[in-house]
Each structure stands twice: as C-alpha cells, then as structure tokens.
Amino acid sequence: MAPHDLRRPFKRPLISDQERRRQHSLLRQAQNRLDAQRHARFLVSTAFSLSSSQTLESHEKEELDVLEASKLKGAEARKWFAKQLMHPEWMIDIPQNLTNDWFVFARPSGKRCFVVSSNGTTISRLRNGSILHRFPSKLPNGARTKEVSSGSSNSYSILDCIFHEQDQTYYVIDMVCWRGYSLYDCTSEFRFFWVNSKLVETGACDPPSYYHKYRFGLVPVYSCDQSGLCSAYSVPVSYVKDGLLFYNKHAHYQAGITPLALVWKDENCSQYVMDTDNKGQVPNQQQVVLELQEDGKLATCDDPPMEFGCLDGSFIQQSDLHSGYLLRFAIGEGGLVLVDGKLGKADLKYLGKANRARASADSFSKVMFQYSVRHSPLIIDDLLGSVSSPADQESETCDVEMDG
Amino acid sequence: MEVTQALLNAQSIDGTVRKHAEESLRQFQEQNLPGFLVSLSGELASEDKPVDSRKLAGLILKNALDAKDENRKRELVQRWLSLDSAAKAQVKACLLQTLSSLVLEARSTATQVVAKIAGIELPQKQWPELIGSLLSNIHQVPAHVKQATLETLGYLCEEVSHEVVDQDQVNKILTAVVQGMNSSEKNNDVRLAATRALYNALGFAQANFSNDMEREYIMRVVCETTMSPEVKIRQTAFECLVSIAAMYYVKLAPYIQDIYNITAKAVRGDEESVALQAIEFWSTICDEETDILEEYVGDTTGDSDIPCFYFIKQALPALVPLLLETLLKQEEDQDLDEGAWNIAMAGGTCLGLVARTTGDDIVPLVMPFIEENITKQDWRQREAATYAFGSILEGPSPDKLVPLVNHALPFMLSALVKDPSNHVKDTTAWTLGRMFEFLHSSIVGTPIINEGNAQQIITVLLQSMKDVPNVAEKACGALYFLAQGYEDVGLTSPITPFFQEIVQSLLTVTHREDATESRLRTAAYETLNEVVRCSTDETAPLVLQLVAVIMMELHKCLEAQNLSSDEREKQSELTGLLCGCLQVIIQKLGSSEPTKYVFLQYADQIMGLFIRVFACRNATAHEEAMLAIGALAYAIGPDFAKYLPEFYQFLEADLQNFEDYQVCAVTVGVVGDICRALEDKILPYCDGIMTQLLKNLSSDNLHRSVKPPLFSCIGDIALAIGDNFNKYLTYAMNTLQIAAEMYAHTSGFDLEMTEYINNLRNGILEAYSGIFQGFKNSSKTQFLIPYASHILHFLDSIYMEKDMDDVVMKTAIGVLGDLADTLGSNAASLIQQSLSSRDFLNECLTSDDHMIKESAKWAKLAISRAISV
C-alpha cells in the first residue's frame, strides 16, 4: 500500500513561473487560432453580405463582439474599445421635430470612457481604449465580494460614462450592456429608462466604500421641449457642464460618429467652446486637422470622408508627406463656402503635421461647428425658438388639410 | 534449468555471474513464458527454498504483470490474459498457497502478486472464487495467515476499481477488515494489516457509510484504533480518518467532536508521524469546506449538492490555539532542507487553510499570540508569531487585515534586516510576500504600499536579497508580488523610479556564487520576469536595454566548456531560465508596435542563441527555447521565414522527442505559431512536418496529452497553406476519420477519460475546420466532397452522445458551418439530411454560451447560403 504523502507546499506559490509561461503560451496560441478561424470565416461573410439579411447580420455581429470583447485583454482590448464608443456629431443645424423625437441633457465635463464590470472587477477605458481605472464597484460583478449576486457570475455590464475629476464620479450617460443583456439594439428611450431604474438599485450611486471605489452618478435627461431644454441649459447640477447632448429617442447605440446624437456648446454652458492650440490659446484663425489621401486629397474622418481640398504632388514630395498623414491647416480669409449644404470651397493654409497624439482627422460637423462659432453661431435662442411653439408644428400639418 | 541457482546468482555481487544469470532467466522467459511463470511461482511457494530466491521469484512475477509505462502495462495485461489457462491456474494456486508461508518475505511478496493478477482478471470476470477463498482464510487460526490475507485484500482494493466487486463481497471484505482492526484482535501485525486494508477499502464503502449502523461501527473501530499502543497502527488509523474526511465529509457531523478530542491529544502528545496525520485531518476538512463554499459562491441559485457543516468555524476556538502551539516546535534548520516536513510546518500550513476557510473570525484568535511572541528573546517565539501572521493573510477580508498590516509593516521591515535569526528573517520575508500577494493591488481600496513607504520597502527587500540564500529567495518572492500588484496600474507605475535599481539587484543576485542554493537564482529570474511583465510604457526603454543583457548572459552560459555533470546540469537550468526570461521580454516588447519595431533589431541574434540552446540535451531548456521561439514568430510575422532553413532541423527533432513529451507538446504548439506567422511560406517544410505529425498520431509511445494539439496543428497547417494541403489530404483525412470513429463514443469511460476524449474531439474538429477553411474558394474543393458524409455523421453521433463540453460544441457547430461554406450546394442535401443541421444547430443557437451561439449563427448563415444556391 502506497504510503500516504501528506507534505503540502510550504512557503511556495502553487504555480511555478514556468508553468505560468507555459499556460500563457497555450492561451495565446488558442486565441490566435480562434482569430485565424474567425478571419477565414469573416472573409466569406463579407463576400455574401449582399444577401437580404445584411443589416440584420451586421447588427448581430456587433452584439457578439461586445460579448467577445468582455473577455479580451491587453492590446486587443484596447484596440477594440477604441472603436466602440458612440460619438455625437456637432450640431450645425437644428434637426426637425426636436421637441418630440429628442432628449437633451447637460454633458458633464471630463473624460469620456467605457466602464465594464465583470468577474469581480470594474475597468474604465478612455476613448483610445487605454485603461483609466481598474477598481472594485457595486456594479453587477464589479467587485470580488462574497455576496452571491443575482445574475450569473460571469455576466458583465458596460456603461458609457464621463469621469468627472472634481468629485471623482463616473456620470453615466448611456448603458450598453446590463448583466450580460445587450442594450445595443434598444432605443435610447429604453436605454435611459434602464439606466434610471437599474443603476440605483445596485448601490452604484452610493458614496465610495471599500468595495466601491468610485461613485456613479445619474445625469438628468429631459425631453427636448421648452422646459426640458431650459432645465438642461440652466439648472445647476453637481458637475461642471460641457455643452448639451441631444439624443434621438429612437436611435440604437451605434459605434462611431452618428448624426442621431448631437453636441452643442456655447460660452455659457461650456469652457471649451472654441478649439485651443497646444498652449491653451484660441488661435486667430480656425485650425483643422485633415487626413492626406493617396490622391493628394484632404479628407475628414467621416465615413465616407468629406473632401476639403487637395495638395499637389510636388508639395507633397517636397514636404515629405505620405498618404495617411494627419495635417494641420488654418482656415484663411476665404473661409468655407457652402453650396447646397455641401462644402464648395475651403481656403486652407498648410501649417504642418498634426500632433502625434492625434488618432484621426476632424469630423466635418466639428469643422463646420467651429466655423459657425466664429462667424454665425447657433445660439440657445435659436434652439429654444425651434421648440417654443408646438402650435407652429401643428399649423404645419394643418396647413395641408385646410386646403380643401 | 536450475531456477533457484539462477535466481540467487542474479543477486550476486559479482557482475559477471549476475549478468550470466540474468541472461539465462531472460532466455527461459522468452523460450517458454508459461513454464517460466509456473516455475517462478513454484519457487515462491516452496518452503525449503532460500528466502532470497523466493523473494526475487515473486518480484519477477510481479514485474511480468505490471509496469509504470502505460503502454508496457497494456501489453503485459494482454500477455497474461492470453496465457494458457492451466499455467495460470497453477501460478494462482502457488500464490494462494504462499499466503500461508511461515516466511514473512515470501508471504508479503505473494500478497502483491495476487493483487496484481486480481487487478487484471476481476474486471474480465475471471477468478471469481478469489475473494471467497481469501475470506475463508480469515477464519484460520494462525495469525500470520490472517495477516497475509488482510494485506492481500488491502492490495486488492488498491488494484481493482470498486465497480468490479459486487456489494455482497464488499460487505464481507469490510466485515473481515474491521473485525481484524478491533481491539479484541490481540495480534498487532494482524491489526496493522487490517487497518491498512481498511485505508484502501474505504473507496468501496459507499453503501456502508450510508447505513447508520454500519457507519457507526466502522467509525467507532477506527477511532478506537487511533489509541492502539502500537505507533504504526495509530498512524494508519489516522490515515483512515484523513481519507474518510475527504470521501465522506457529509457523514462526519456525529463524530466531529470525538475526532477533535482524539486529534488534539495526538497533536499535543503523540509521536510526530501520528501528530502529522492528526493535523492532516483538519487540513483535509479545510480543503473540503473551501471547495464546498467556492461552489456556493459560483452557483447562482445558492444551493449546492453538498451541504457545508462549518466544522472548522465551530472548532475554531479550540483548533486555533492547538495549531498555534505547534508553531513553536520548529526544527533548527528546516528552511535549508528541501524535504523537511515537521509538525510546525504542518500546523502552520493548516492554520493558513483554516484562515482561508473561516475568514475574519480567525483574526482575533491569532492576534494575541502574535502580540505576545513577536518581540520575545527566543527566536522560536518570534518566528512562530511571524508565521502565524503570514498564515492568516489569505482569507480574512482586507477591511480587517489592512489596518493590522499597516501597523505591522514597519516592524516587519526592520526585522527583515535586523533580526539575528535567519529562520525569523526567512519567515518575515515570506510574510511580506503574502501581504503583497493578497493585499497589495492597484485596484483594491486603500493601498498598503504608498508613496510614503514604497521607497523603504523596496530598499529593504533589495538589501535582504544580499542575505543568505534562503532569506534572499523569500525577498525575491516578496518583490515578485510587489510587482504583480502593479499589473494593470495604467500608464504610470509607482515602480518606475526604482525599475533600474530593482533589475540591477536581481541580476546581481543571479551572479551570486551561492545562487544555486535554495532555488535563489530561479526565484531571482522569476521576479525579473514579473517585473518586466508588469512594467509600463515608461520603462520600455529599460526593458529594451535588458534584451542585450540577457542575451549576453545566455551567450556566456552557452560558451561554458568542460563542465562536470553537476555543472552541466546547472548550466542547463540557467539556460532554461534565460530563455524563459527572453520569452517574457519578447512578449512584452512585441505587444506594442513602437517597442516591437526597436526590439526586432535583435531578432537575428536572439534566434542565433536559441538555435545554440538546442545543442544542449536538457528537456526544460528545449521547452523554454521553443516557447520563446513561438513568441518570437508571433511578434515577427511572415519575416520569420528566414530562420526556418536553419531552425527546421531542431523543430523536427523535438517533434520526435517522445520521451520528454512536454517538449514535443510545446513544439507542436510552436508549429502552429509558425503556420500563422508564415502562412503559405511554410509550404516547403510541410512535407516533413506533416509526416511527423501523422507519425506521432499513430504512435502508441507518445504521451496521450500531446494527441489533441497534434490534431489541431493539422488544421493550422491546412489553414496556412490553403489548397496546397491537397497532397496530404488522403492521409490526413484517413487519420482523422479513424480517430473520429474511435472517439465518437465515451460510454464506459470515467470522467477524466471523457474529458480527454472531448479534448481529442476538439482537436479533430479543429483539423476539419482548418482544412475546409483552407480549401475555401479554391478550384480543389471537389476533393473534399467524398469526406462530407463521414464528417456529418461524426457530428451527428457526438451530438447524440450528449457528452460534449462547451468547447467541443462550439468547434463542432463551426465545422458544420465551414463544411457548408466551402462545399456550398455540393453538400446541400447531405447537410439537410443531417441531424446536426437541425436539432444540434437549434440547440447551439439558443445556447447561453456566446461562443457557441456565435459559431452557430455563422453555421446557420453558411447553411442557408449553401441551400439557397
């Protein structure tokens, strides 16, 4: 009978570093194999994406990616998250039916980030995907507590937040996933309702404690009628405001820039209306950053890109520029000329290459908003005017009927 | 031949005589196996033969029935089963007869051989009379026969699985065994044999432990046996209690109080061998309760199959003082002895487990002991106090511990430098490591390391790394966890200002003359690895500098000539450590584009060094170099192709290394890395690689754990080279098909084997997946059509078995999609007929596992297209 060896590891870790290296390699290999497989499969799905179910599939794809991404680590995760936030266009004209179809709220000033809680920890990631904080929180599965959470232990939640330095609070401006349930394909009306009903019950809005390092805050969201817009604009809140955000009530959460969310600012509700240069000064002339295309054209970051002009080949060669470079220009006396709402001509003066930290060119709406701020800004009264008279809107429809 | 003389000569001191005898025995065996075995058993049974020849005869018999190597063992089993039955009957008769021999050695050898034969024959429903005839022996008067019989029953229970013995026989065995243990049995040899037999028979006693009366009886006898005057019997009785704790935890409640009293008495007063088992009982209860409580936390419904009785929590007020007492019984130099295991170590370990099990409750029970002893004159008291503190750092909540740690930290730092006792310093450094391991993290609440004390902590640890090897090793360990706590710290790490100094100090440690003692050098490199892993972009330039340093170390290490065998072993170990370190650096620098770009300038030289490593014949060094090369290939991408002409021979050689199967397994993984890096540039090497992979798959001598990755690797190759795989298609598909048929079913296998079969299935499926995706959009897809029906059949059969794990499910449904995707309308009707395309697909589409769901959606899409075209 084999003697019973009762020695246990003494003053030693259970897993050797070598074993860790081995496991790490196996994990990496499995992940790479999965990626290769996915890649192979995806090549085909684009080939037959012209089929009728195209839009449906692409939506599903996105949802799956969120589920996937909660398991990503390191650089992979960074890359993925950098592309997932929904970014508003700048408001250059007032959308129709603002009163009925839109929400408005004051945007908290601070760092925009995705906050993911899963597996007993909470991680916030900035727009470029890098980690801002890793901390315990009362979000579902957000801390390693012994309490048995409702929800399965590997479910996760993803919030779209702004981290407000002054009171060290994450203000929740949108909710993408809750306890493993994807809200991507839900309207913003539903998402906001969900934020308001779910967040408080977790205790995430409580003051910080040992297992809850940062407080989460709700942002008052108003229907964009006269009183809602006034409140968002002028009622004091616990955070410093940085402009107003407008969300279309029927829009789903969509990664990237979307015209169904809009940002608007004036001096009264934001410290950062006009772009500053790297010294914090507002330059005399408006500056824009554009991407150099292969054919010498200068484009915005929109999809599809908007063209702002063209550099000639000799200049490109002379200045040792290559396609893909981000270049900084000033807008000269000639300004921007619009023809039928589209850009006709832009008077651009080359300043140099953009700061290396820049990830992408400016968007069309941003350039236009900045331009209008300098020339004929859209002011709060314009906005109030557009929502002021429900009678006007009714009269519009009435007009047609009275024709008989 | 004269067997007795040959057996005696085979044990001669004279080498020539011995060789000659061994040779003639071998010839006998080869020429006439049945005759050989019969005459050996006759020798063993014969009372007038010398003890030495009888013993060896029994040993050779035993070795003819069993071997360590699994494949060899299978051969031997088959050989015995196919032997002439008359010869077998004769051998068995002799063996049973030997159980009554007056010669102890002959008897005890026979008991083992009988058990080996039982292990082979009982599962085949042969030798049905064995247990009956053994049991009839029990009632014989001579004690030595009783003893041998009980011993045989014990070995028998160890050899055969409890399924092959019916309950009626189990009842009789247990009755005989427990009666033999009873205090009414006056012969100690019989009692000891019976107690040992019970230890092995406990696994058979499931039904008996569910019967209150029988359980009461067994437990009473076991508890009584712990008080036998004979130390070996007491020790074995406690071993039974340990085993009962692990197997029948849920039945223990009525006995736990008595067991506490018995164990406490043993821990306080009995011989160490007994006391150690008594402590092990409580450690085992901790293991059980931690497992159960972990299930609770993981289980969302809150209920679990096994209830927790909180024995540890209830015993806490008595158990903790008992364990604290043991801490004071240290041996002088236990830290210098790798194999040491004594009551202080066992007690301390148990205390740590108790803390994990009960959490906060233990803290107030241990703190007074620490406070009272930590400053005492006697080193034993200071060490015990420190060890107690270190032990309770895992389990209780940070809320409870952080204030205590903050309070203790300055004292510990000072003790680490100033305490005159090495033993105290060793334990102090270990305790600091535990503080950092469990309470220091960039994400948990209040930090125990902050701007105010970081400098001092690091300075003290670096200083302590110059202390004697065992203390320095623990200091490295503490630094390891200090670095680990800053994993994911973000952009700037508090370690950054000290990075250079830490790395320098660790390198200095690796150069110490005595670095090979107490695992010191290994610990230093492991810590260096962790410091690199957890470093941030700020220190990337310093990590880049480290590349050249470690490369130089590896170069110097490989240069060393004319080494003694001891030195050579140390050189191999160092080579492995350096390759491991380079692997970590490659992964770190390869993970961000700017550093990767700079780092890749060294790629040629690093690869040159790795290739030189293969000249040394050490498995660990090969494994580490291979892992590092895999990481390098991943970082470099297609350009890695330039190294293959030189590297290929080593790759092929290690694919053939069956003996060090870990090396083989790692190499298979690296082939996958290279496939993904090179894609079709790997083509020129595929003939050799594929040949080797297929050979390995068909070999019985390769460790089974390598087989699943071998299959997956075929998929990696196919995906990399696309329809160029066509030339291997027949062979590969043939191998896959045979394997698929073999592993479609798991019925009759235990859990472990079922898990292994699922790993194999996953490998087979990954191979199919790679092949189909590789051939996609090629003109050669028609070559795959003949295989479709078999593959679909395989999917259907594993679906119907209902024993797939999630991973297999995901891969399997993916293969369905790949098949549809690549074959399109060619396979439409086959797919529509398959069960997989309906029930299995639907099940996957509604799965909770998103990976399965994703693959299923993919499959659904591919199928709908294949059918619609």
Task: Tell me the count of A-B CB pairs closer than 8 A.
Answer: 154
Which of A6, A132, A135 is facing B280, going by the closest CB pair? A6
pLDDT of residue A398: 38
Identify all chain B residues contacting A13, using CB atoms and an 8 Å cutoff: 477
Contact at 8 Å (CB) between B362 and B318? no
Phi-psi region of B386 (alpha: psi -120 to 50; beta: other; left: phi over 0): alpha
- A25 with B666: Cβ contact below 8 A: yes
Which chain B residue lies closest to A48 (C-alpha atoms)?
B865
What one-character-per-residue DSSP string does B703-724 give? Answer: -GGGHHHHHHHHHHHHHHHGGG
pLDDT of residue A395: 42
Q: Residue A194: which pLDDT band, with cuts at 50, 70 and 90?
A: confident
pLDDT of residue A18: 79
Structure letter (DSSP) for residue A251: P
- B672 with A28: Cβ contact below 8 A: no
Which residue shows structure tokens 């003639």? B24
pLDDT at A397 over 70: no
Token duo for residue A178: 């809750």
- A150 with B627: Cβ contact below 8 A: no
pLDDT of residue A341: 64
Strands A256-264 and A241-248: antiparallel
| B308-315, Cβ contacts within 8 angstroms, sequence gap of 24 or more | B309/B249, B309/B250, B309/B252, B309/B253, B309/B256, B311/B252, B311/B253, B311/B256, B311/B285, B312/B282, B312/B285, B312/B286, B312/B354, B312/B357, B312/B358, B313/B357, B313/B358, B313/B361, B314/B256, B315/B256, B315/B260, B315/B282
pLDDT of residue B217: 94
pLDDT of residue A60: 38
Closest-CA distance, B298 to chain A, in angstroms, reads 7
Q: Which residues are A160's β-sheet partners?
A: A114, A174
pLDDT of residue A61: 39
Strands A111-118 and A156-164: antiparallel
Q: Tell me the per-residue pLDDT of A95-142, one tens digit each, with 9 for 90 and over.
A: 888 888 899 999 999 999 989 888 778 888 888 777 788 888 999 888
Short-list B204, B187, B102, CA closest to B153: B204
pLDDT of residue A356: 67
Write down the ipTM of this complex. Answer: 0.77
Helix (H, G, I), strand (E, B), or coil: what is residue A362? coil
Closest-CA distance, B297 to chain A, in angstroms, reads 6
- B854 with A68: Cβ contact below 8 A: yes
Identify all chain A residues contacting B488, using CB atoms and an 8 Å cutoff: 123, 131, 134
Contact at 8 Å (CB) between B578 and B554? yes
Token duo for residue B479: 């630094």
pLDDT of residue B523: 95
How large is the greatest C-alpha to C-alpha distance in chain A, in angstroms? 106
Q: Residue A42: which pLDDT band, with cuts at 50, 70 and 90?
A: low
CA distance B473 to B471: 5
Q: Which residues contact B313 (CB under 8 A, 6 or more apart)?
A: B357, B358, B361
Helix (H) or strand (E) holding A290: strand A287-292
Best of A16, A21, A133, A158 to substitute, by most chain B Cβ atoms within 10 angstroms, is A21
Closest-CA distance, B15 to chain A, in angstroms, reads 32
Contact at 8 Å (CB) between B203 and B157? yes
Token duo for residue B782: 């028609």
User: Residue A82's Cα: distance from chain center in Å?
Assistant: 9
pLDDT at A1 over 70: no
Identify all chain A residues contacting B576, using CB atoms and an 8 Å cutoff: 18
Closest-CA distance, A364 to chain B, in angstroms, reads 30
Q: Which residues are B108's β-sheet partners?
A: none
Closest-CA distance, A404 to chain B, in angstroms, reads 52
CA distance A200 to B656: 61
- B277 with A211: Cβ contact below 8 A: no
Which chain A residue lies closest to B300 (C-alpha atoms)?
A152
Best of B334, B488, B624 to substitute, by most chain A Cβ atoms within 10 angstroms, is B488
CA distance A347 to A333: 7
Structure letter (DSSP) for residue B257: H
Q: Which residues contact A371 (CB under 8 A, 6 or more apart)?
A: A286, A331, A335, A336
Best of A5, A15, A16, A33 to substitute, by most chain B Cβ atoms within 10 angstroms, is A33
Identify all chain B residues contacting A53, using CB atoms and an 8 Å cutoff: 861
> Which sign, positive or negative, has the C-alpha torsion A318, A321, A323, A328?
negative
pLDDT of residue A314: 84
Contact at 8 Å (CB) between A89 and A258? yes
- A22 with B769: Cβ contact below 8 A: no
**Segments of chain B scoring below 50 in pLDDT:** 300, 302
Which chain B residue lies closest to A66 (C-alpha atoms)?
B850
Which of A7, A21, A40 is facing B583, going by the closest CB pair? A21
- B821 with A41: Cβ contact below 8 A: yes
For residues A279 and B198, the model is more confident at B198
